[in-house]
Structure formats: structure tokens, C-alpha cells
Structure 1
Amino acid sequence: MSTYPLRGAAERLLFIDLLKAVGAQLIVLHHLAFYGPMSDWTHRLAPDLVSWFSQDARMAVQIFLVVAGFLAARSMAPGAVPRNTPFMAQLGQRYVRTALPYIAALVVAMLCTELARRWMAHDSVSPPPGLWQFLSHALLLHTLLDMDSLSAGVWYVAIDFQLYALLLAVLWLSRRLPASSAWAMAFTALLVAASLFHFNTDSDWDSWALYFSGAYGLGALAYWTTHDDEAWRNGRWLMGALVAMALMALTIDFRERIALALMVCLALACAQRQGWLFTWPRSRVVAYLSRISYAVFLLNFSVALVVNAWFTRYGSHDSVTQTGGVLLAWLACNVAGALFYRWVEQPLGRLKLRRKPAAVLPLGSQKV
């Protein structure tokens, strides 16, 4: 069966919109269940549900790792042919695109933490940051320097940047070799294997891209092997080998996060082959939740912290009231994300577009 025609880079990928929208909401609910005193009260009403969100919903990050790899491959090497763009210029562009809204969100996080400190004393309220702590976050070095986090989940922003830089280095090296597309896929497959069989089995590596490059590389290879009929004819053996390799790694050391990453990889490959990557689901709500997903990710902990603090100080200490606070915090996280997207992320994106319009990445290549 023929694939759906390859579309322009700017066209929305509706199935990826769905993955991002669902994944972002799961991360918000995970943070609400894991941090803050309100969830302790909610646990009395729905212990199994709160426990699942607290412990298992965080695996939604695997969705974003695979999707980020898929979109990075589509942007940097469409048709598996690396773009001839200077390495540092492309890496710097990625940093600016990622870091400008992220740094703005860090400032919001610090302000929200100080506000929450006035209303409650709790482990989720971090101490005031020093200058170096803030700079290490702004430079995306905080995970490597083992700095205390200014907000939950911001480790992912640093890891995503590392992963992008690693894939960019692979493509830069591949461009200098004959049959560059074949080398790009081969090097990426080697990174996937190294991660699945070694680095991802050792939590001491979880501050480095190599720990996560299995999921990210699966996403990149899912795009390269399925983007058109010729790619599938030449690359389906590679996809089969990747599935076999992942299953072998899971047999040796079963990890739910890797099993989920493999399922997302196969779903993206199937969606691109069958064409519904571009056509399903057609929902304005899903599309909008996808657009604001990065903003929601950046702000959700800060907003939830303030709501937790207010309900701790002024709300009745009973399960019904505090559960209402959890639901209110969930709504507030999305409203704050929508406002941040409209008034911060979009204007910063337009400033960047005016400077280097030819190198824009597809919408949604960022994470949660």
C-alpha cells in the first residue's frame, strides 16, 4: 500500500498533536499527584488513581523522547539526507528556540516559589536560588552539574538539547562520508543499541543524553525508514532489526519505559506509512493542546505549587475541598500555559523567525 504523500515541513502532523496533547496532560497530572499536600488528601478518595499518576504517568516522557527524535530527523535530515547547515549555527538556533521561553518560565518559577513560601512550608518549596544555580539552568547545564532543580521537569529541557546536539553531531559526521544517509542511520542505530544494552540500564547515566538516546533514536529511525515508499523498501529490514534489538534488550532487562518507547516508535512508523500521521485526529482541541504543550510543561509545576500553597493556607483540610484544589490546579496549569504561549512563547518565536526564517523547525519539535 502506498504511503500518504510526503508533506511540507510546516504542515501539522495530527497524530503527533494527539501524542503531545495526551502526554502533556499526563505530565501535569503526574506532578499534581507527586508534589504538594493536596494530593495527600485526594489519595484518600482515589488511592489507586493517585498512585498511578504519581508513579506511572511520568513514563509519558518516553512519548516526547520518541516524538522529539522523529521531528528532529524530519527537520535536520529530510529524506535521511543531512542538511548542509553549519553545526554551531544550527545548534545555537536550537538553543535560542528552546531557551528563550524556558528562561522566562524559570523567572516565573522563582516568583511562584516565593509566593508559595508565604503560604506554606513544604518539601516541594525549594530554597531561594543562587546566581550560579540560575545560570546553570539557563545554560542547560544543571543536570550535568547536579544542581538542585528550580522546577519539576526542567531536567528534560537540558536532556532534549543534549539529544539534539548528539543527533546533529551524527549528521555532521555523516555528511563527510559517501552515502551519507546510510551512515546517518547506521550511526543512529549504534547509539540506540549502546543506550538500550548499556547506558539506559545504569541510572548513573541519567543526566546524559546517552541514557535516553535509545528512545530518541527510535523516533529518528522511524521517520527515516518510513517517510516514503523507497525509504520503506530500503529500510524495512532496519526497522525489523530495531524491533528485534529492542525486544532482546527488554528480554535481558525489562524496562517499561523502553517498552513504551518501542510502542510509540511503531505507532509513528505505522501512522506515516498509512497516512494518518497527517489526517487523524481532526480536532481543534487536540491541536490547541498540542500547540501549548511546551508552555504547559514549563509552567505547570509553578502554577500547581501556588494553588497547593493557597489551599493549604486558606482551604478546608478535607478530601473533597483539597481534591477540588487539585482539579482547579489542573485547569490553572492549562490556562497559564495558554497565556504563556500567547504572550511569551509566540512573540519570542516571531523574533527568531525574522532573524533566520530558513532554518525554522516544525512546530512541536520541543518537549514535555
Structure 2
Amino acid sequence: MPAVRMPAASIPAFAPGVALTSASPVNFRFLTVFKGLAAQLIVLHHLAFYGPMSDHVRPYAPLMIGWLDAHGRLAVQVFLVIGGFLAARSFSSDGMAPAQSSVLARVARRYLSLAPPFMAAILLTVGASAWARSWMTHDSISAAPTLAQLAAHALMLQGVLGYDALSAGAWYVAIDFQLYTLFALLAWASSRACRGWPGARAWLLPAAVCVAMCCSLFWYNRDDHFDVWALYFFGSYGLGALAYWVGAPGSSTGPRQRLLMLALLAPSMASLALDFRSRIALALALAAVIAWAARQPSRGALAAPAVLLWLGRISYSIFLVHFAVCLVVNAGFTRFAPASAGWQASGMLAAWAASVLAGAMFHALVEAPLARRMTHWRAAAVSMPMSGDRPVPLN
């Protein structure tokens, strides 16, 4: 059985968008808080899902372990919706689309932001799997990778090409890149279509996103055979994009805003009436909350707790390294600790804390230095200044 055997709905997710820092408007900082909390839920979900520590704890805490196993994966919707929101923000608040060269440059920059830390984490996970393999036998441990498998991961094509993922996070990093690329292509197509028709520029990209979102909600997201492609997830991603256009700061509540709100609500509610999916219901609720919050005056927003902002800033690194950490801690407690529920529960808590610590270290020692080194490469790939489109969990 492959090491990463998660169904599509349980895949961890981190989505593209604009980096949010302390300099961002206060009413956008809550997105960083959402990321930090959702990342912790993803770590706990994987601890409950994979075991073997959770297998010993489950009989004594069936409700908690069962909930984390079955429902903790819904945190993926937080990252999908925020990703769509921030992608729309990076392509401008009024839906105007850039030229083809700019779109290609943005996609190249997106890849250069994702790939280096991702591959560093993959190599770390390969080493952790070899270490864990020496202490225990479990189906969460992947076999030693082939060069072709590593190359597929580097190109973010492992799912499409049918290779087993080497980490619980590898699958979604590929989807993350697909989603942003699809959004960029929609922006380019909208730009081409509105040549000689300037008045359509504020409408075509939102309309194109809405069409793609409907295709996802009514067809692709209802068939798990498409779960290696961006269109399976574009329903939630598109809801996030529409939430940005509805709640764009400074925009008035006019006909365009009301139509965009209708586009956000009507298709998703109709899709839920046809086939209720809790993940889509959560995405719709979150998109509505974000759209409302984005329209509030930033000076009226409350400051977020510093620890949650910190967790949000390092959440991409936590996401990348937590699977390796959990593998080693699971193996250590399987080999050296008693099989009692108390000891194994302490192992789960240790793995959770170690994942946060390792994420902070990975951010300081790997992710941030790689981002600085890639600056020149990204500068060569980008033909115009941008407000940033690094992964959501980054600073």
C-alpha cells in the first residue's frame, strides 16, 4: 500500500496568494490566523489518520480521534478559499487581466516560490522514511524513491503521472501550482477577449472564474477520478476569488457587487442542493465571512494574537515538514515506548509540538534563505512589479 493513501478530500492544502505581514491591512490579518489554526488541524488530522500511535489511543478517546480522522481534513477548504481570494487580489481587484507575457512570468514565479522548499522537504521526508523504516514496519512509510519519482515531484506532476506521493503534503503542492496556473490562464484569456472592449475588463475575469467554478461544483468535484486535477478543487478556489471581488476594499455596493455576490451564492447553493458536500458548504461559509470581513474598515478590526500570527507565518514550513517529523516520532514511540494509551498519547502531543518547532526551524534555515536566493531568479522571470504571489503560508 502506498505511503500517502489519503482520499482527495483529506489532502492537506496550502494555496497561492499574497503574503500577509504586519504591514498588511488589519482586516486581512485574520487570514493569517486562519492559516495558522488550519495548519495545526492538518497536523492533528494526520496524526490521527496515519498512526500507529493513534491506533493505541483511539479505543480510549474514540470521539476525538474519530473526529480528527474523519473531519480534520476539512481544514483543506481554508487554504483553497484563501488561495483563491489572494490570487484574485494579485491579479487586481477589478478583474482586469494582464498580458500574456505577464501571466507566464507569474506562473514561473509561482513555481520558483513553491519548488525549492518543497523539494528540500521531500528530501527530508525521504531521509525520515529511511530512519523510521529501521524502527517499525507500517504502511505510512514509503519505499525508497526512484529518480523518476523524484523528478515527477520536482515537476509537480507526481499525481498526474501516477507516482506515489513521498509526503502527505506533496499531492497538494502540485494542485496548488495547477490552481494558480489555471487562474493565470483564465486571466490571459479574459485579457485577449476584451481587446477593443475596455468596458468588459472588469467583468470578464470574474465571469470566467464563475464558469470554471460551476464546472467544478456541478461536475468535476463530484467525481473523485478528477482529484489529481485543479478543476476538482476550483469550486472552493473560485469562491475565494469571488469573495475578494465582492469585498474588495474601497468598492461600493453597486450592481457589479450585487451580481458578484449572486455568483458567489447561487451556484454553490444549487450545487449543495443537488449533492450536499460538507467541504463545499464550509468553503461557501468561509468565502462569505471573508467577503464581509474584507469590506470592514481596517481600523475597526481587532489585533490578532501574536502567537497565531506567528503560526500563520510559518504554516507553510510546518505543512512541509510535519509528515517527516510525525513519521520519526511514531517510529520512536513504537520501538522504545510502551504500547499503553497514555504513553502513545504523549507521543502524539510530542509529535505535534515537534512539528511546530521543526516548522519554525525549517522556515528560518531553509524556506526564508531559499526565498532570498531565488529573488534573482524570480526577478528574471517577472516582467513587471507585483504585490507578491508566494504561497499562502509564507510571511
For residue 225 of structure 1, report the CA deviation from its aligned partner: 2.0
Amino acid at match of 2:324: S
2:330 alignment partner, one of 302, 308, 312:
308
2:340 is equivalent to residue 318 of structure 1: yes
For residue 97 of structure 1, report the CA deviation from its aligned partner: 0.2
Over the matched positions of the two proteins, sequence identity in percent amounts to 43
Give the aligned partner of residue 117 of structure 2.
101
| Structure 2 stretches lacking a partner, 5+ long | 1-17, 380-384
For residue 366 of structure 1, report the CA deviation from its aligned partner: 4.9
Distance 2:319 2:299 in 1: 23
2:349 alignment partner, one of 315, 323, 327:
327
CA contact (8 A) 2:329 2:351 kept: yes
Aligned length: 361
Distance 1:301 1:265 in 2: 29
Amino acid at match of 2:50: Y
Query: Normalized against structure 1, the TM-score is what?
Result: 0.93
For residue 194 of structure 1, report the CA deviation from its aligned partner: 0.7
For residue 313 of structure 1, report the CA deviation from its aligned partner: 0.4
2:133 is equivalent to residue 112 of structure 1: no
TM-aligned CA distance change 1:270 to 1:235, over 3 Å: same
| Structure 1 stretches lacking a partner, 5+ long | 1-6
2:49 is equivalent to residue 34 of structure 1: yes
Deviation string 1:121-140 (CA, Å, 9 cap, x unpaired) is 11111111111011101100
Give the aligned partner of residue 223 of structure 1.
244
Deviation string 1:98-118 (CA, Å, 9 cap, x unpaired) is 111001000000000000011
Mapping of 1:227-246 within 5 angstroms? 227-230=248-251, 232-233=253-254, 234-246=256-268
CA contact (8 A) 1:30 1:57 kept: yes
Distance 1:244 1:182 in 2: 18
1:203 alignment partner, one of 224, 227, 241:
224
1:80 alignment partner, one of 95, 116, 127:
95
Give the aligned partner of residue 4 of structure 1.
none
2:186 is equivalent to residue 164 of structure 1: no
Give the aligned partner of residue 58 of structure 2.
43
CA contact (8 A) 2:317 2:393 kept: no
Distance 2:283 2:292 in 1: 14
Distance 1:150 1:92 in 2: 24
Deviation string 1:24-64 (CA, Å, 9 cap, x unpaired) is 00100000000121001111221110011011100110110
Please give the secondary structure, in 2, of the residue aligned with 1:274. Answer: coil
Mapping of 1:158-307 within 5 angstroms? 158-176=174-192, 177=194, 178=197, 179-230=200-251, 232-233=253-254, 234-275=256-297, 279-307=301-329
Please give the secondary structure, in 1, of the residue aligned with 2:276. Answer: coil
For residue 219 of structure 1, report the CA deviation from its aligned partner: 0.4
CA contact (8 A) 1:294 1:366 kept: yes
CA contact (8 A) 2:19 2:392 kept: no
CA contact (8 A) 1:268 1:277 kept: no
TM-aligned CA distance change 1:156 to 1:8, over 3 Å: closer
Query: Normalized against structure 2, the TM-score is what?
Result: 0.87
TM-aligned CA distance change 1:362 to 1:170, over 3 Å: closer
Please give the secondary structure, in 2, of the residue aligned with 1:120. Answer: coil
CA contact (8 A) 1:15 1:278 kept: no
For residue 316 of structure 1, report the CA deviation from its aligned partner: 1.0
Mapping of 1:134-173 within 5 angstroms? 134-173=150-189
Give the aligned partner of residue 3 of structure 1.
none
For residue 240 of structure 1, report the CA deviation from its aligned partner: 2.2
Give the aligned partner of residue 388 of structure 2.
361
CA contact (8 A) 1:15 1:280 kept: no
Distance 1:292 1:300 in 2: 12
Distance 1:278 1:35 in 2: 43
Amino acid at match of 1:359: M
Amino acid at match of 2:156: L
Superposition CA RMSD, Å: 2.0
Deviation string 1:62-102 (CA, Å, 9 cap, x unpaired) is 11000001011111223322244523221111001011100
Please give the secondary structure, in 2, of the residue aligned with 1:324. Answer: helix
Distance 1:277 1:161 in 2: 34
Give the aligned partner of residue 339 of structure 1.
361
TM-aligned CA distance change 1:362 to 1:132, over 3 Å: closer
Amino acid at match of 1:91: V
For residue 155 of structure 1, report the CA deviation from its aligned partner: 0.8
TM-aligned CA distance change 1:335 to 1:8, over 3 Å: closer
For residue 156 of structure 1, report the CA deviation from its aligned partner: 0.8
Please give the secondary structure, in 2, of the residue aligned with 1:44. Answer: coil
